Chains A and B, each alone.
Chain A
Amino acid sequence: MDTAQEVPTTQTEPKKTINVSGSVALLEGLIAEGTDIVFGYPGGAIMPIYDALYDYDEKLKHILVRHEQGATHAAQGYARTSGKVGVVFATSGPGATNLVTGLADAQIDSTPMVCITGQVFAHLLGTDAFQETDVINITTPVTKWNYQVTDASEIPAALAKAFYIARSGRPGPVLIDITKNAQLQMFDYEGYTPCEHIRSYRPRPVVRKEYIEKAAAMINAAKKPFVLFGQGVSLGSAEQEFKAFIEKSGIPAAWTILGAGAISTDHPLNVGMLGMHGNYGPNVQTNSCDVLIAIGMRFDDRVTGRLDKYAKQAKVIHLDIDPAEIDKNVKADVPVWGDCKETLPLLTELVEAKKHTEWLAEFRAFDQTEQEQLIGKELSPESGEMTMGEVIHQLNVLTKGEAVIVTDVGQHQMVACRYAKFNHTRSNITSGGLGTMGFGLPAAIGAKFGTPDRTVVAVIGDGGFQMTLQELGTIMQSGVNVKIMILNNRFLGMVRQWQQLFHDKRYSSVNITSPDFVKLADSYYIAGKKITEREELAGALKEMLDHPGSFLLEVMVAQEHNVFPMVPQGMSVSEIRLK
């Protein structure tokens, strides 16, 4: 070749760097990722990060929780209402182990969260140093990904990877453990580059058209198609796409508790809640539909009941972003692997516009039965002790479905999920998969920070409240406006219900006593009220909602009241009991 060798015309400029500590690089990275709030608790091994935070108080709001578990649930609540990644800081050792419950909860409920833990100096790793714990190995089963940083220069890339993994694909919690020397170490920081690709990780499957076509053909041929939807719809921000799909195809749709709110409660095709304490129609009809279309849900055992008697007559179409969910519990005839934001519009295009009037009427007939035999008495009892259902009903009347409802775990949770009205997505914040008692109060704090303009009501039982009640301190100090409603039945109600129904009423350790919750709130400078009579309910709820700040309302409800309908464990969904 005779062409002159090309001389490089531009010399690669050396990247501009600034000399900063690992801690400063971490905070810069968080800001670059759009973080504006961190829930955390300081301690020895994370002190350099907190020291750096001192100069960042205008850009990064730090909420001092009262226990690290509270920080994780608050971050979950924040992530669930805002759609952003929740961020947690905790120190090494006990600080880190206290994150485990929240991580497990976020893992099973697919909540995007990044936890930063401090760790002992790198040279002390493995020596049983003060507050050393092997947090990477402890958290491996409960994180989507985790990584230990021992050198400051790793921080920007590790953080970028953490955020990318936490929020892409099926979201989940990620933990970065940073040794104290890496937090202190000065290094040449080149700025923050977000992560967009990891070769071993494929969060966005390529959608295969032929499976969309197969699914559409199956739907078009169906006489009794039935949609089950889960949190995948809201995690994928596909609420509009979902609505368009069911409205065109005219298919009745039922939800898992984490799916609630993706379409409004009042939508004519919303036929109610699935699962153990779900509605009558959706459970029974699961075993009479001909095509079952599962969208962003994972056939949890609380949804399916006995698997070998679950929808055996139906062809199953399963839309999910996580291939490990396809065929895990229920075999799919047509698997549609992909992001439902992408797959639903493709499906909508191919399905015929229909109205399944008669089929929908069958659901409404079941509703009628459930209404007459159960719901009516539940929501509007005329005498006797107050029911949880009527409290939620009264709350609906006042909030008109506009509020964010955060629940704890137990009877009140099932009642709230069944009866609360939701006009908007990302409004039902609850611990679904893990069933974490103590979730409610801290999650409500985070939920409010995630959506400051909306009313946030935490519905909590007397048992669960006592698991994380120290977070009243967080409410006091941060000034966050959370409405706390304790439905007090003086029992660990759900366990008591099972003991009554399945253990000969042998009430073993379910009788729980409580402190004076109103006085407790008062000691945290939080307004409160306790009511025992039906006549006070509407007024007290109004007072709670109208109060300018946080408010704790304790409602004394029936002591031995059971949540029905119920699919007893080991039974088929169609064997659901109304009493």
Chain B
Amino acid sequence: MSNSNEIETTGKQEFTITVYTENRIGILNRIAIIFSRRKINIESLNTSPSEIEHIHRFNILIHETEEVVRKLSRQIEKQVEVLKVYYNTNQDIIWQEMALYKVPTDTIAELVSVERLLRENGARAVVIRKDYTVFETTGHREETDKLIEVLQPYGLIEFVRSARVAIIKDSEGFNRKLREFERREPGEDVIENEFLDKEKNVFTM
């Protein structure tokens, strides 16, 4: 989680950018280069089909100032095949990352302490084989990181973590907006110039 001291000194903090796009080849590149041209590192990136057919939802995590994030969001939304962009701070969202851990089965079986540690960390066995066991846990970065530390002494063989997926607390969903996009003359109240209305909260729901 972002350090509040850091926000005060550099103005930078974690932002989760949510992008709704058409499911088209090349759109990932179009979005990615908007960050790379400003030499901004993408901390994590998730893209997968949304609840609406043919529309993909991206979750992009970056560490930046709000001013830059707002400019990036507008430049992303400007892409022809992007429907909508939102950006949110960690306070505005509920998020999770999933992690998988592969450990030798014999250690787990022999050491009761390991089993307890796994339970304490909310891990769940996905696969148990003679030679290794795969555990899964979801949570924030700190939580999944902690389990790495815990398992390291017991011979952690392999580890992988997903990108952040986030739900926007205030979101009313995207379906209604999409119906407006499909109209040739979209209703004034629903989409256009909404950023002008909300002044600072541009591109947030």
State which of B71-79, B114-122, B147-155 sits at the interface with chain A: B71-79
Q: Is the CB–CB distance between A328 and B184 below 8 Å?
A: no
Residues of A within 8 A of B109 (CB): none
Q: Does B205 contact A (CB under 8 A)?
A: no
Contact among A148, A197, A322, A323 for B184, CB-based, below 8 A: A197
A322 CA / B76 CA spacing, docked (Å): 12
State which of B1-9, B29-37, B130-138 sits at the interface with chain A: B29-37
Q: Does B81 contact A (CB under 8 A)?
A: yes
Nearest residue in B to A145 (C-beta to C-beta)? B80
Contact among B37, B181, B188, B196 for A199, CB-based, below 8 A: B181
A333 nearest CB across to chain B (Å): 11
Q: Does A211 contact B (CB under 8 A)?
A: yes
A61 CA / B78 CA spacing, docked (Å): 34
Contact with B along A184-219 (1 / 0, CB 8 A): 000000000000111111100111100100000000
Nearest residue in A to B72 (C-beta to C-beta)? A324
Q: Is the CB–CB distance between A200 and B33 below 8 Å?
A: no
Q: Does A500 contact B (CB under 8 A)?
A: no
Contact among A144, A197, A201, A202 for B192, CB-based, below 8 A: A202
Nearest residue in A to B82 (C-beta to C-beta)? A200
- CB interface residues, B 29-69, toward A, < 8 Å: 29-30, 33, 37
Given that A322-B78, A337-B196 are contacting pairs, would A140 and B30 also be in contact in the complex, using a CB cutoff of 8 Å? yes
Q: Does A330 contact B (CB under 8 A)?
A: no
Q: Does B173 contact A (CB under 8 A)?
A: no
Q: Is the CB–CB distance between A200 and B22 below 8 Å?
A: yes
Q: Is the CB–CB distance between B196 and A208 below 8 Å?
A: yes
Residues of A within 8 A of B16 (CB): none
Q: Does B182 contact A (CB under 8 A)?
A: yes
Q: Is the CB–CB distance between A323 and B80 below 8 Å?
A: no
Residues of A within 8 A of B74 (CB): 323-324, 326, 328
Q: Is the CB–CB distance between A208 and B193 below 8 Å?
A: yes
Contact among A141, A144, A197, A337 for B80, CB-based, below 8 A: A144
Q: Does A327 contact B (CB under 8 A)?
A: yes
Nearest residue in B to A201 (C-beta to C-beta)? B80
Q: Is the CB–CB distance between B83 and A337 below 8 Å?
A: no
A141 CA / B77 CA spacing, docked (Å): 15
A404 nearest CB across to chain B (Å): 31
A1 nearest CB across to chain B (Å): 29
Q: Is the CB–CB distance between A140 and B26 below 8 Å?
A: yes
Residues of B within 8 A of A3 (CB): none
Contact among B33, B77, B80, B192 for A205, CB-based, below 8 A: B192
Contact with A along B177-194 (1 / 0, CB 8 A): 010011010101001110
Q: Is the CB–CB distance between B196 and A141 below 8 Å?
A: no
Q: Is the CB–CB distance between B80 and A200 below 8 Å?
A: yes
Q: How large is the interface on A (under 10, 10 to 19, 20 to 34, 35 or more residues)?
A: 20 to 34
A380 nearest CB across to chain B (Å): 46
Q: Is the CB–CB distance between A200 and B26 below 8 Å?
A: no
Q: Is the CB–CB distance between A211 and B196 below 8 Å?
A: yes
Residues of B within 8 A of A323 (CB): 74, 77-78, 195
A147 nearest CB across to chain B (Å): 8
Q: Does B144 contact A (CB under 8 A)?
A: no
Residues of A within 8 A of B30 (CB): 140
A46 nearest CB across to chain B (Å): 21
Residues of B within 8 A of A335 (CB): 196
Q: Does A249 contact B (CB under 8 A)?
A: no
- CB interface residues, A 203-255, toward B, < 8 Å: 205-208, 211
Q: Does A146 contact B (CB under 8 A)?
A: yes
Q: Does B164 contact A (CB under 8 A)?
A: no
A453 nearest CB across to chain B (Å): 35
Contact among B29, B80, B197 for A165, CB-based, below 8 A: B80
Q: Does A136 contact B (CB under 8 A)?
A: yes
Given A197-B184, A200-B181, A323-B78, 5 additional A-B pairs, CB 8 A:
A200-B22, A200-B80, A211-B196, A324-B77, A326-B74
B34 nearest CB across to chain A (Å): 9
A323 CA / B195 CA spacing, docked (Å): 9
Q: Does B70 contact A (CB under 8 A)?
A: yes
Q: Does A11 contact B (CB under 8 A)?
A: no
Contact among B21, B71, B75 for A200, CB-based, below 8 A: B21
Q: Point out which of B26, B77, B184 has the most chain A C-beta atoms below 10 A from its C-beta.
A: B26
Residues of A within 8 A of B193 (CB): 205-208, 211, 337
Q: Is the CB–CB distance between A328 and B37 below 8 Å?
A: no
Q: Point out which of A136, A146, A165, A323 has the most chain B C-beta atoms below 10 A from its C-beta.
A: A323
Contact among B71, B182, B191 for A327, CB-based, below 8 A: B71
Contact among B22, B29, B82, B188 for A206, CB-based, below 8 A: B188
Q: Is the CB–CB distance between B186 and A202 below 8 Å?
A: yes
Q: Is the CB–CB distance between A206 and B192 below 8 Å?
A: yes
Contact among B75, B184, B186, B191 for A324, CB-based, below 8 A: B75
Residues of B within 8 A of A211 (CB): 193, 196
A300 nearest CB across to chain B (Å): 15
Nearest residue in A to B34 (C-beta to C-beta)? A141
Residues of B within 8 A of A148 (CB): 25
Q: Is the CB–CB distance between B71 and A328 below 8 Å?
A: yes
Nearest residue in A to B179 (C-beta to C-beta)? A199
Q: Does A137 contact B (CB under 8 A)?
A: yes
A159 CA / B186 CA spacing, docked (Å): 25
Q: Is the CB–CB distance between A137 and B29 below 8 Å?
A: yes
- CB interface residues, A 129-157, toward B, < 8 Å: 136-137, 140-141, 144-146, 148
A165 nearest CB across to chain B (Å): 6
A544 nearest CB across to chain B (Å): 43
A43 CA / B186 CA spacing, docked (Å): 44
Q: Is the CB–CB distance between B83 and A196 below 8 Å?
A: no
Contact with B along A526-564 (1 / 0, CB 8 A): 000000000000000000000000000000000000000
A208 CA / B192 CA spacing, docked (Å): 9
Contact with B along A356-391 (1 / 0, CB 8 A): 000000000000000000000000000000000000
Name 27 interchain pairs, CB-CB below 8 A, sorted by A: A136-B26, A140-B33, A141-B33, A144-B80, A145-B81, A165-B80, A196-B184, A199-B83, A199-B181, A200-B80, A200-B81, A200-B83, A200-B181, A201-B80, A202-B192, A205-B192, A207-B193, A208-B188, A208-B197, A211-B196, A323-B77, A323-B78, A324-B77, A324-B78, A327-B70, A327-B71, A335-B196
Nearest residue in B to A141 (C-beta to C-beta)? B33
Nearest residue in A to B193 (C-beta to C-beta)? A208
A161 nearest CB across to chain B (Å): 9
Contact with A along B100-129 (1 / 0, CB 8 A): 000000000000000000000000000000
